[in-house]
Every structure is written in structure tokens, then in C-alpha cells.
Amino acid sequence: MNLQLTPDGKLHHLLTLDGLPRAILTQILDTAESFMDVGEREVKKVPLLRGKSIFNLFFEPSTRTRTTFEIAAKRLSADVVNLNIATSSQSKGEAILDTVDNLSAMNADMFIVRHSQSGAAHFIARHVAPHISVVNAGDGRHAHPTQGLLDMFTIRRYKGAFHNLTVAIVGDVLHSRVARSQIHALTTLGVPEVRVIGPKTLLPTGVEQMGVKVFHDMENGLKDCDVIIMLRLQNERMKGALLPSAQEYFKFFGLTPDKLALAKPDAIVMHPGPMNRGVEIDSEVADGPQSVILPQVTYGIAVRMAVMALLAGGTA
Amino acid sequence: MHDSLPDAGSLIARLADAIAPTLTPDTLIVGIHTGGVWVAERLHALLKCVQPLGTLDISFYRDDFSRIGLHPQVKPSTLPFDLESRDILLVDDVLHSGRTVRAAMNELFDYGRPASIRLAVLIDRGDHELPVRPDFVGLTIEVPRHQNINLSRLDDGHLTLSLA
């Protein structure tokens, strides 16, 4: 049984894109499309989630994701409470489920969960009362489904369709929950060629089994690509033995104008943020005409509105 | 009962005749998805309205969202004008409970403060649940509660009314 779906196949939690049918992904993207104009009108709000309480439960720091979830919830007229657990009662030793129970006792309708442990959102989803929905806002190395969805939304907006695309995901796939969610979504939506490009030490073993082509150099990997997704190189990886240095990494895998020229001339460049300029991406590319990195942020609001609206509707 | 409903085209023509004397060059016509947009498109052409046509999808303003969830096919609302201090002619196909019109008015006010809103409907079938009455109506008809009046559009663009 899929924990994410109700018995009649509706979305109840959003924990991972793995195993979600194409119809649900498309429904979320279509719904997000209709939320796009809300941010541009005089009153940037619709009354859909009036009276609902949404708790942003962030056990790990985040600026962009937390803020866009908060804005999305507010544009749906929900009441939003932000909890930075790292600085609140978890530091006093309260167990996660006690925190969740306490917030449930305050009549929560939805939890948005970010945690450094893989599986944390699933753990909470299994525990909460049936009327409460849980959204995974990133768990360990496992999944970041709303990021994956907003990336699909961005690709569809710029490329129109998925069935004729070559998409490359570049960099630290090994530690990336974003890459996993992207790969699941791209293959489910019918992208015929998904590539991962990176040094052997930063690609998970057996990644081919996810339906991707593996490249260890940019020259071959970026050839004929329509979409290039750069991943953040997490600085803490540099301390281990995985990479010699940031300069060395940039030389081989940093996206420069020269390397970008290997892809199709109308290729778009994406990045989930926060960027390390001069490590995985050159500023000239990040700020250049093919970059859609800032539109990704804007679309993230509409996509998160769509997810919350679909979860909150009809579950009462 | 099927043949008791008149031709949609002649009802729209009748509506247009009733609206024409009251229309100013500044009046904005706004149709409610989906049937109301079809009627609004016809009225917009018949009345030779110079302003662009607006469309509203009221899914985000429905009062039954927490019971039945989001409508599966939400279309974007398109109001290609500033409606602050303007006269709006709101158009729908069938007026029944009045809840759709209530939702549409709420949505319009999130775009600005119109000077006035008037309501034109192809059919008023009664059984209102809210104090909503049309200013212009093509046909007033009583229909048993369990029946629906549907406006549909054929491939050639022809509009037809049916009872189900």
C-alpha cells in the first residue's frame, strides 16, 4: 500500500515522487499553472485554505524552501506557524513524535517537514491522525519532492513537453535528495534520456538502475542536452576524501560558458540553490540568458500551493 | 423533457437585445468557466464589445472545497484589464443555488473594486439558496431538483441545452 495515496487513489501525503503515477504529477503541475497568476494580482490570496493550520517543521535549516512554503500557505489563506526545531525544544531533548503530538493537539491540519534523517517525513506520516497531511520538504539524502516538482514545472514551462528531451543532472548526485526526486519525476513523465554527470566518487553505485545514463565527463555528457540541472556541491564533502579541491572540481565539472556551448543552443540551466559560484557554476552562466534559476524560485510558490491545495481538499 | 428547452443561440440573442441598451463602451464582460465563458464569448461578439473578454474559474473560491476538494480541471482566470471602478457584466449559463455567483464576486473583488457588477444568465432555474438575482435572463424555467440543465458545445462551436 502506498502511504501517500488514499484508498481511492488521491494524494494524502507527499513524501517522495518515487511510485507516484504520472497522472498525479501532471495534476499537480496543471494545478500549479492555475495558481501562477495569483502572485500577480492586487490581492495575492485565494480563500481556499482559510481556517487551516499549517506547521512548518524544520529540523534542519533552510531559507528558500521554508520561505516559499510559508508564502504558498499564506497565499492560500492558511494560518502558518514556523518552527525552527534546531533552536527550540528538540535542543531540550523532546522526541520528534512528542513534538508532532503537541502540535496536533493545537489542531494542526498539515505538517511540512524538513529533516536531516532520511525517512523522517514517512515516520511522521505514519504516526499522525488520518485527517492530517504531511509534506516532505527534504529528508536526508532521500527525497525532496516539491523541489523535483517545481523543476518539472520549470522544464514544462520552457520546453513545453517531456517526451522529446535530453536532460542532464550534473554534480554530487550521491548526496542529493534533489537529484533522486528529479530522476523519479523525469522518468515518470516520459523524458526519454536522463543523464547524470559527475566524478565516480559523487555518483551512487548502481545509479543506472534508476533509468539514467552515466557520464564522467562534461564533453560527452552535455552534448545535445535540452536541460542542464546543476547540483550544489556541499562544502562539507570537500573535507572527506571524495574530491581533491573546489578548484579542481570547477575545472572538470563547473558549468562555464564554454561547457554550456556543448549543449543545444536553446538549452536551459537550472539549479536548486543555494549556488556555490565558482565551484559548480560560473557566475556568467548563473546570471546569463540561458539561466532559469530565479524563475525556478517563483514557480516553487505556485507548485507548493498546488500540493497543499490538493492535499487539504476533500480530506476532512 | 429534452425538446422543451429552447435553442441556446436564440436565448443568447434575446439576452444581447436586453443588455444592449445598458451597455457602455467601458463595460467589461466576464464569463464564468466553462459554460458562462461560451455564453460570454457570444455576447461579446453580438454586442460588439471593444473591451477584451474576461474569464473566471471560481474553483479556488468554492464553498464546498473542504468537502469535495479541488476541481480536477482548474483553468486560469484571465482578467486582461484593471477592473478598479469599472462596470462589470458577469455572465453564467445556469443560475441555480447562487453559490457560483457568490464565489465569482469574491474573486472579482480580489482583483480590485469594481464600480458595479450586473449578472446575465442564460437560464434561471430557481431554487436559489442565496440572495442572488439576475439582471438579465434568457429564460426562467422550473426544473425538478434532481435534474440538471447542461450547456454543451459541439465541435462546430454550436451551443446546445439539455436536461439530464
Other Cβ atoms within 10 Å of B140 Cβ, number: 12
At residue A92 the predicted structure's pLDDT band, cuts being 50, 70 and 90, is: low
| pTM of the shown model | 0.86
Return the pLDDT at A107. 92
User: Cβ contacts (< 8 Å) between A35 and chain B: which residues?
Assistant: 60
CATH code for residues B2-163: 3.40.50.2020
| Residue B158 or residue B76, greater confidence | B158
Average pLDDT over residues B20-44: 94
Concatenating the DSSP letter of every residue in B94-141 gives: EESSSHHHHHHHHHHHTT---SEEEEEEEEE----SSS---SEEEEE-
In B, minimum Cα distance to A75 occurs at B60
pLDDT in tens, A231-256: 998 776 666 667 778 888 999 999 99
Quick one: pLDDT at residue B64? 83
Cell numbers found for residue A257: 560558458
Measure A248 CA to nearest chain B CA, in Å: 48
Residue A316 in contact with partner chain B when CB distance is under 8 A: yes
Mutate which: B64, B74, B78, B108, vs A, most A CBs within 10 A: B74
For chain A, state the CA radius of gyration: 19
Q: Is the pLDDT of residue B147 over 50?
A: yes
ipTM: 0.71
User: Which residues of A fall within a CB distance of 8 Å from B111?
Assistant: 41-43
Confidence of residue A315 (pLDDT cuts 50, 70, 90): very low
Residue B109: list chain A partners with CB under 8 A. 43
Q: Is A190 on the interface with B (CB under 8 A)?
A: no
A258 at interface of B, judged by CB pairs closer than 8 A:
no
The whole-number pLDDT of residue B2 equals 46
Query: Which residue matches cell numbers 441545452?
Result: B161
Q: Give the angle subtended at the CA of A219 by the CAs of A218 and A224, to the nearest 5°.
A: 95
* Chain pair A-B, CB pairs under 8 angstroms: 58
- A151-165, B3-17, B91-105: range with lowest mean pLDDT: B3-17
A312 CB within 8 Å of a chain B CB: yes
Rounded distance between C-alpha atoms, residue B114 and residue B108, angstroms = 8
Per-residue pLDDT tens digits for A12-64:
999 999 999 999 999 999 999 989 988 888 788 899 999 999 999 999 888 88
Q: Which range among A78-87, A172-181, B37-46 shows the weakest confidence by mean pLDDT?
A: A78-87
Rounded to whole angstroms, the Cα distance separating B30 from B44 reads 9
What is the C-alpha to C-alpha distance for residues A199 and B49, in angstroms, rounded to an integer?
Answer: 63
Q: Which residues of A touch B60 (CB under 8 A)?
A: 34-35, 38, 46-48, 309
Q: The C-alpha cell of A159 is what?
A: 520546453
What local confidence, expressed as pLDDT, does residue A179 receive? 96
User: Which residue of chain A has the CA closest to B109?
Assistant: A43
User: What is the number of alpha carbons within 13 Å of residue A29 lying toward its C-beta?
Assistant: 22
Whether residue B76 and residue A43 make contact (CB cut-off 8 A), yes or no, is: no
Residue B3 has pLDDT above 70, yes or no: no
Q: What are the residue boundaries of the structural domains of chain B, listed by start? A: 2-163
pLDDT tens sequence across A206-224? 999 999 999 999 999 999 9
Q: What is the pLDDT of residue A316?
A: 33
Contact list, B81 vs chain A (CB under 8 Å): none
pLDDT at A208: 92
* Distance in Å, alpha carbon of A107 to nearest chain B alpha carbon: 16
**Structure confidence by residue, pLDDT tens digits, B115-141:** 999 999 999 999 999 999 999 999 999
pLDDT band at residue A314 using 50, 70 and 90 as cut-offs: low
Q: What is the DSSP letter of A98?
A: H
- Which uninterrupted H or E stretch holds B40? helix B35-46
For residue A198, what is its C-alpha cell? 559527475
Query: Is B164's pLDDT higher than 90?
Result: no
Mean pLDDT, chain A, whole residue set: 92
> What domains appear along chain A, each with residue ranges and CATH number?
22-143+297-312 (3.40.50.1370), 145-293 (3.40.50.1370)
Q: Are A46 and B61 in contact (CB under 8 A)?
A: yes
The percentage of chain A sitting over the pLDDT mark of 70, rounded to a whole number, equals: 94
- The predicted model gives B15-34 an average pLDDT of 93
Q: Which of A34, A37, A47 sits opposite B61 (nearest CB)?
A: A47
Within 8 A of B71 by CB-CB distance, chain A residues are: none
Mutation for testing the A interface, residue in B66, B102, B105, B111 having most A CBs under 10 Å? B66
Q: Among A185-189, A239-243, A305-309, which stretch is predicted with the lowest mean pLDDT? A: A239-243
Chain-chain contact of B76 with A36 (C-beta, under 8 angstroms): yes
| Option in B67, B70, B72 nearest A309 (CB) | B70
- The reply to whether A163 touches chain B by the CB within 8 Å rule is no
**pLDDT at residue B43, as a whole number:** 96
Q: Does A42 touch chain B (CB under 8 A)?
A: yes
Q: Verify whether the Cβ–Cβ distance B68 to A316 is below 8 Å.
A: no
Closest chain B CA to residue A27? B72
Chain position carrying cell 435534474 = B147
Identity of the amino acid at A275:
M
Q: Which of B55, B58, B60 to mutate to probe the A interface, most A CBs <10 Å?
A: B60
